Structure 1
Amino acid sequence: MDPGTAAAPAHLAAIKTEMIKLAGCGLFDLADFPPTADGGDVTYLLHHDPDGRFGLYLMCGRHCAPVPPHDHKTWAVIAGIRGVETNTLYRREGGLDGDEETVSPRAEIAVTPGRAIALGPCDVHTIRFDGGAQVTATLHLYGRALDRITERVKFTAGGVLDGTYRTRAEDCVLAPQI
């Protein structure tokens, strides 16, 4: 499967099913994957292929740093382990004939244990943890490792195009051997 293209719906459905199984298998204990001392989010790199494809991450925390609306330039599947990760999905508007591209919220999807969401390369979303005092933990699988994706587009909270960004390797914690 080409990480830079939209995966066929049947492929994403199969990946969602497997990600839900993996998230629910009991392998991801908070003792091995703790949030920061103050409950802030941590992104653990679990695996990526040597060529940078198929980046698998575990995100956890009681709260997460504000995440601007953004795309991934690859497909993604997010599955719940515990708590609630709310994904706000955005509609892209403009960007043609020299118009400035903007986004506006179109839906919210709660990723909880037993649930997953699939996103295409051009889909725009943002996340927040809504588990209250409970630690939220989710698995994120991307067609490419996050630090290998360049030119990801981000938007302001008001929906205005705000340039590009890149996740750096040092933004992720190498997962412990489990």
Structure 2
Amino acid sequence: MTTSTASGAVAARTTERIEALVAGVREVVRRGLPPESTAHLVAELLAPLLGRAGLLTAEQCEGDPERYRQHVLHSEPDGSFSLVALVWLPGQSTSVHDHVSWCVTGVHEGQEHERRYRLLTDGRTSWLARAGDVVNGVGEVAAFAPPGDIHRVRNGGPGKAISLHVYGADVARLGSSIRRVYQVPEGER
């Protein structure tokens, strides 16, 4: 089945499992809960689907040799949420960034290495401090909402990694879920 995005573009064909996930996310979003609560409820919907055959089409599992690839699977017509699959080839990574909205991520294949940061300030200057490193494997989900959502994600493994991301924003219209990009802290360059 193909779907139209809010911008009128046609999104890639989806599977029945993705369509069921979209229907569940739609119900959660319509409840109008705070961002953290929405993200945690969406994470509960996403987790059981991860790693299961038939979740994505072969086309939605294709990477790009130049950078990680984003496949928009669904954008809600009212702009309230989007679902994307990110495909990471070995060594590919994001910048250090935060997000425009709440977000849920789940690993469908491979592993994602995530470095989380805290933004510190002395009232005049701000800087990033490493808050921890996490390796997320198949079936693991993370739910978060701004502020406090600064991280960098990479595929540190030998094979392809695929993750699903649900954002409380229209990624098809925005082009990305990234709000701000930060400089890598001095000791990590």
Question: TM-score with structure 2 length normalisation?
Answer: 0.69
Deviates most, 75-84 or 26-35 = 26-35
Between 1 and 2, higher relative CO (CA 8 Å, sep ≥ 6) is seen in 1
What whole-Å deviation, never above 9, does each CA across 1:15-68 have from its counterpart, x for those lacking one?
A: 1121112323322254542112x3742110001111222111101122364422
Among 89, 95, 110, the residue aligned to 1:62: 89
Unaligned runs of 5+ in 2: 1-28
Shift of 1:150: 8.6
1:23-172 counterparts in 2 under 5 A? 23-26=50-53, 27-30=55-58, 32-36=60-64, 38=65, 40-63=67-90, 65-94=92-121, 97=123, 99-122=124-147, 123-132=149-158, 134-146=159-171, 147-148=173-174, 152-158=179-185
Is the 8 Å Cα contact of residues 79 and 139 (structure 1) preserved in structure 2? yes
What whole-Å deviation, never above 9, does each CA across 1:119-167 have from its counterpart, x for those lacking one?
A: 21221111001221x11000011100234379812211127xxxxxxxx
Shift of 1:100: 2.6
Unaligned runs of 5+ in 1: 160-178
Identical aligned pairs, as a percentage?
A: 20
> How many residues align structurally?
152
Is the 8 Å Cα contact of residues 87 and 127 (structure 1) preserved in structure 2? yes
Q: Quick one: which amino acid aligns to residue 157 of structure 1?
A: V
> Do structure 1's residue 18 and structure 2's residue 45 form an aligned pair?
yes
Change (3 A) 1:108 1:151: closer
**Aligned-residue RMSD, C-alpha:** 2.6
What whole-Å deviation, never above 9, does each CA across 1:74-124 have from its counterpart, x for those lacking one?
A: 110100101011121111111x74x23221111122222111111212211
Change (3 A) 1:33 1:144: same
Question: TM-score with structure 1 length normalisation?
Answer: 0.73
Provide the secondary structure at the position in 2 that maps to 1:53. coil
